[in-house]
Amino acid sequence: PPRYTAIVLSASPVTLTLPGVQVLARVQRITNVAELHAARLDALAHVTTPYCFYLDDDDELPADYLSVLDECAAQGLPLAYTNELVRRPGGDVLARAQPYSRASHRSDATFVHHLALMNTGAAQAAAALLPRGAYCTLMLLYYQLASGGAAHVDRIGYIWNKAGGIHTWPSMLVAQVASTAWAARNIAP
């Protein structure tokens, strides 16, 4: 059986297949940030593999994704994250993440971005502590998880097709600010 689950939310039926990875597809039309947050948390509750990650339906994984996932899992921590290749109309850019630092993560809520492999049990426990509403799931979840340890794996683990998407919604910026404030009040530094 697979060790990994890719959580994919999409407004259209998901036909993605990733050999060696279970694809947990949730078909739902998302119209606001609170719906996105709820859908991500609800989908996480249904993961049964030891590890999981979120994959946007318009993004991709590199050809060697199983090797990258194995290296992330080998870190033995609740959270391991990678570098990402950002696809933009003007050309691809490598976004290199930095080694984990709680202080750096505290000062930059998007410090952990794509690909972030989560220990499923730890992620489900962390998700149970998070509020519902207009929040940025990934910011809150990754910060909560990282309180148990996080590691950077210096490989490309995700291909982000950045043109358009929910990250461009003005309400997402508001949700990120709300998430940062909530984390500062409720998650230990």
pLDDT in tens, 71-105: 999 999 999 999 999 998 889 999 999 999 999 99
DSSP designation for 27 = E
Q: How far apart are the first and last CA of the chain?
A: 37
Predicted local confidence at residue 164, as pLDDT: 66
Predicted local confidence at residue 172, as pLDDT: 82
Predicted local confidence at residue 170, as pLDDT: 75
- Cα(1)–Cα(82) distance, rounded to whole angstroms? 24
| Position 123 confidence tier, pLDDT thresholds 50, 70, 90 | very high
Using DSSP's 3-state secondary structure scheme, residue 19 falls into: coil
pLDDT in tens, 138-183: 999 999 999 999 999 999 999 998 876 676 677 888 988 898 899 8
pTM of the predicted structure, to 2 decimals: 0.94
Q: What is the DSSP string of 74-134?
A: TT-SSEEEEEEEEEETTEEEEE------HHHHHH-TTSS-SSEEEEHHHHHHHHTTSPPSS
Q: What is the mean pLDDT of residues 24-48?
A: 94
Using DSSP's 3-state secondary structure scheme, residue 153 falls into: strand
